[in-house]
Amino acid sequence: MPAPHRVVIVAFPGVELLDVTGPAEVFSVASRVAGAGRPGYQVQIATADGGDVRTSSGVRLMSDLTLEEVDGRVDTLLVSGAITEVEGSVEAVVDMRVTAWLRGAEPRARRIGSICAGAHLMAAAGLLDGLRATTHWLTAEQLAAEHPEISVEPDPIFIRSGRVWTCAGVTSGMDMALAMVAQDHGQPLALATARMMVMYVKRSGGQSQFSVPLSVQAPAGDRIEVLCRWIGEHLDEDLSAEALAARMHLSPRHFSRLFGQRTGSTPAAYVETARLEAARRLLEETDLSLPEIAAASGLGSVKTLHRSFQRRVRTTPAEYRRRFR
């Protein structure tokens, strides 16, 4: 039997539960799906003191070993994260014992990654200097301010910079773990693992944390929520505020006010975001030309496509495709 890949997930008091259990479950399921004869994964949870650790949800996790007991080679070293509220604002928690240990442990790991605000611990240890990195959008501004040497990108689900990986909030750790399974064993096993877990495996690293469906804070069946779903299915049609207001049988002024209350966005900004998100998916998943993508996404022309990408994603469509395909 081939030796399993050793995965060590670092946890500490107050950690987000799913930061630890989400990736752990992906690796566990991948091992079962791979079956005998292929190297699976051995997952270990390591904490500073050993024993159990209380997570932010109150659920306690049992560790397998202390940080000092993590000896020898580690295939994948993952650092989970924690977020706390300080004087009305959200901040990432940096456990200094974990940070100090990471400096010495990192050279022994073939691959290292952070989940959610775990990027702040890796940054404090100097492991992200000069690299592109992401974290939960709530703490991305903090990460950029405290570590200007890091190129912080608050938008992607996850980013791979060589052997160093970082990902966004909570469930994106599972997406990153699936990508690691694909790197280790190929895309077929990652797809089979996702199917077993009833996961949407198409959440590639380039997908935005700010997916437009998440911006609609309206109850199911709400007229604006229904309209937003319709917009996503008709991106190549006239989606001006006037046309949308007419569809809702409202005056443009009343419609714009109602739409803003429900979504926190103007109709024009929402439509552009929806079209840009569609264009990003097409760049990631298809070989369509830029004119075809501009037409299918409703952006109309390659010039508009370029302008939207430069303003919102700060790169060109061609560079985006090279980076995330």
- Whether 98 is in a domain gets the answer yes
| Other residues' Cβ atoms within 10 Å of the Cβ of residue 62 | 10
Helix axes 267-285, 241-248, angle to 10 degrees: 110
> Do 174 and 314 share a domain, yes or no?
no
Q: β-strands 5-10, 164-167: how paired?
A: unpaired
Give residue 124's pLDDT: 98
Q: Which of 196, 226, 257 is the last residue of a domain?
A: 196
Distance CA 251, CA 49 (A): 63
The helix (H) or strand (E) run that includes residue 311 is helix 302-312
Structure tokens, 147: 């570590």
Q: Has residue 151 got a pLDDT over 50?
A: yes
CA distance 218 to 260: 11
The model's pLDDT over 87-134, given as tens digits with 9 standing for 90+, comes to 888 999 999 999 999 999 999 999 999 999 999 999 999 999 999 999
Confidence of residue 204 (pLDDT cuts 50, 70, 90): low
Asked, for residue 81, whether it belongs to a domain, the answer is yes
Residue 249 is part of a domain; what is its CATH number? 1.10.10.60
Q: Is 67 contained in some domain?
A: yes
Instruction: Supply the pLDDT for residue 211.
Output: 57
Tell me, rounded to whole angstroms, the distance of Cα 32 from its chain centroid. 25
What is the average pLDDT across 309-315? 85
- Regarding whether 37 and 68 lie in a shared domain, the answer is yes
**Is residue 206 domain-resident?**
no
Longest CA span, the chain? 69
pLDDT for the residue 241: 95
Measured CA to CA in angstroms, residue 181 lies from 2, 40, 128 at distances of: 16, 10, 22
Domain boundary among 196, 223, 245: 196
84 with 139, same domain: the answer is yes
Looking at the fold, whether 76 and 145 belong to one and the same domain comes out as: yes
Residue 185 confidence (pLDDT): 92
Range of the domain at 311: 212-324
Q: Say if residue 301 is in the same domain as residue 257.
A: yes
224 and 148 inside one domain: no
Q: Are 45 and 116 in contact (CB under 8 A)?
A: no
The Cα 45–Cα 63 span in angstroms is: 5
Mean pLDDT of 14-41: 93
Q: 303 falls in which pLDDT band (50, 70, 90)? A: very high
**Residue 22 pLDDT grade (very low, low, confident, very high; cuts 50, 70, 90):** very high
List the structure tokens of 38: 């292929």
Alpha helices (H) in 70-117, listed in sequence order: 96-105
Segments in 4-106 forming alpha helices (H): 17-34, 96-105
pLDDT at 218: 47
**How far, in Å, are 93, 281, 284 from residue 318 at the CA level?**
37, 13, 11
Q: At 90, list the tokens.
A: 């959200």
In the prediction, which pLDDT does 203 show? 57
* Mean pLDDT (whole number) for 178-200: 88
pTM: 0.72
CATH number at residue 105: 3.40.50.880
The verdict on 46 and 191 lying in the same domain is: yes
Q: Which of 145, 163, 196 is the last residue of a domain?
A: 196
Count up the domains in the chain and report the number.
2
